[in-house]
Structure 1
Amino acid sequence: FNNKLLNMPHSSFLTFMLLLIQLSVASGGKILVFPLDGSHWVNMKVIVEELHARGHEITVLRPSDSWYIKEKSPLYTSVTLPCRGGFEENFGVYLSRQLEIRLQIKPGSFWSNIWAHMQMRWVLLDQFFQFHKKVGDVITHMFENEDLMQSLEAAKYDLVLTDPGIGGGAMLARKLQLPLVFNVRWTIQGEAHFLIAPSPLSYIPFTATELTDKMTFPQRLKNVLSYFVGMFILSYMSEPAYKPIVNRFFGPDVDYSTFFLDADIWLMRNDFVFEFPRPTVPNVVYMGGFQCKPSKSLPADLEEFVQSSGDHGIVVMTLGTLVSNLPQDVSEEIAAAFAQLPQKVIWRYVGQKPNNLGNNTLLVKWLPQNNLLGHPKTRVFITHGGTNGVQEAIYHGVPVIGLPLFYDQPDNLSRVKVKGAAVIVDIAMLDRHIFKDALMTVIYNSTFGDNMRTLSKLHRDQPVKPLDQAVFWIEYVIRHKGARHLQTRAHKMSWFVYNSVDVFTALLAAVLLVTIILIAVVRFLWRKIFTGRKMKQQ
Structure 2
Amino acid sequence: MSVFVCGWLQFPVCHSESMGSIPGVSLLLLAVSVSLLTSPSVQGGKILVFPVDGSHWVNMNLLIQSLHARGHEVTVVRTATSWYVKENAPHYHSITVTLPEAINIEEQDFFVTFLVKMLTIQKEGASLIGFVKFYWEMLGALSKIHQQASMLGVEIFENKTLMQSIRDTQFDMVLLDPGLPVGILVAHELKLPTVYNVRWITSGEGHFVVAPSPTSYVPTSGNAVSDKMTFGQRVKNTFYYAFNTFIDKFVVCPHYDRLVSRYFPDQKFYHLLQGADIWLMRVDFVFEFPRPTMPNIAYIGGFQCKPSKPLSSELEDFVQSSGEHGFILMSLGTLVKGLPIEITSEIAAAFAKLPQKVIWRHAGERPNNLGNNTLLLEWMPQNDLLGHPKIKAFVAHGGTNGIYESIYHGVPIVGIPLLFDQFENVLRMEARGAAKVVDATKITWQNFLETIQEVLHNPSYRNSMKRLSALHRDKPMHPLDTAVYWVEFVIRHKGASHLRTESYKMPWYAYYSVDVICFLTAVLFTLIAIVVGSIRFLCFRLCRRRKPKQE
- The TM-score with structure 2 as length reference comes to 0.90
Give the distance between the partners of 1:178 and 1:521, measured in 2 at CA.
62
In structure 1, the residue corresponding to 2:224 is in which secondary structure? coil
Contact 1:85/1:138 (<8 A) preserved: no
1:487 matched to 2:500? The reply is yes
One-letter amino acid matched to 2:212: P
1:84-109 Cα offsets, whole Å, 9 max, x none, are 543455562454143244145348x5
Give the distance between the partners of 1:247 and 1:497, measured in 2 at CA.
24
Contact 2:81/2:106 (<8 A) preserved: no
Give the distance between the partners of 1:116 and 1:514, measured in 2 at CA.
55
Correspondence for 2:475? 462
Correspondence for 1:256? 269
Correspondence for 1:241? 255
Give the distance between the partners of 2:489 and 2:149, measured in 1 at CA.
30
1:98 matched to 2:115? The reply is yes
Correspondence for 2:302? 289
Contact 2:116/2:340 (<8 A) preserved: no
Give the distance between the partners of 1:65 and 1:300, measured in 2 at CA.
36
1:187 matched to 2:204? The reply is no
In structure 1, the residue corresponding to 2:283 is in which secondary structure? coil
1:332 matched to 2:349? The reply is no
Correspondence for 1:153? 167
One-letter amino acid matched to 2:140: D
1:358 matched to 2:374? The reply is no
| Structure 1 residue 435: Cα displacement | 1.2
One of 46, 49, 55 as aligned partner of 1:30 = 46
| Structure 1 residue 170: Cα displacement | 0.8
1:418-447 Cα offsets, whole Å, 9 max, x none, are 111111111111121111111101001110
Correspondence for 1:173? 187
One-letter amino acid matched to 2:390: K
Task: Calculate the aligned-residue CA RMSD, in Å.
Answer: 2.0
1:437 matched to 2:447? The reply is no
One-letter amino acid matched to 1:42: V
Give the distance between the partners of 1:368 and 1:186, measured in 2 at CA.
26
Give the distance between the partners of 1:236 and 1:439, measured in 2 at CA.
43
Correspondence for 2:58? 42
Correspondence for 1:270? 283
Cα distance, 1:16–1:346 mapped onto 2, change above 3 Å: closer
Identity of aligned residues (%): 48
1:517 matched to 2:530? The reply is yes
One-letter amino acid matched to 1:404: P
| Structure 1 residue 531: Cα displacement | 2.9
Give the distance between the partners of 1:475 and 1:409, measured in 2 at CA.
32
- The TM-score with structure 1 as length reference comes to 0.92
| Structure 1 residue 22: Cα displacement | 7.0
Give the distance between the partners of 2:122 and 2:49, measured in 1 at CA.
40
One of 219, 234, 252 as aligned partner of 1:205 = 219
Count of residues in Structure 1 that have an aligned counterpart in Structure 2: 519
Give the distance between the partners of 2:34 and 2:450, measured in 1 at CA.
64
1:219 matched to 2:233? The reply is yes
1:84-137 Cα offsets, whole Å, 9 max, x none, are 543455562454143244145348x554xx433332222211111111111111
Contact 2:111/2:335 (<8 A) preserved: no
In structure 2, the residue corresponding to 1:207 is in which secondary structure? coil
Give the distance between the partners of 2:188 and 2:267, measured in 1 at CA.
11
Unmatched runs of 5 consecutive residues or more in structure 2: 1-31
1:468-508 Cα offsets, whole Å, 9 max, x none, are 11111111111110000111122111111111111111211
In structure 2, the residue corresponding to 1:47 is in which secondary structure? helix
One-letter amino acid matched to 1:102: L
Correspondence for 1:61? 77
In structure 2, the residue corresponding to 1:257 is in which secondary structure? helix
Cα distance, 1:63–1:175 mapped onto 2, change above 3 Å: same
1:322 matched to 2:338? The reply is no
Unmatched runs of 5 consecutive residues or more in structure 1: 1-14
One of 378, 383, 407 as aligned partner of 2:396 = 383
In structure 2, the residue corresponding to 1:395 is in which secondary structure? helix
Contact 2:53/2:106 (<8 A) preserved: no
Contact 1:189/1:231 (<8 A) preserved: yes
One-letter amino acid matched to 1:45: N
Contact 1:26/1:55 (<8 A) preserved: no
One-letter amino acid matched to 1:327: P
Correspondence for 1:8? none
Cα distance, 1:331–1:288 mapped onto 2, change above 3 Å: same
1:81 matched to 2:97? The reply is yes
Correspondence for 2:152? 138
| Structure 1 residue 239: Cα displacement | 2.1
Contact 1:159/1:179 (<8 A) preserved: yes
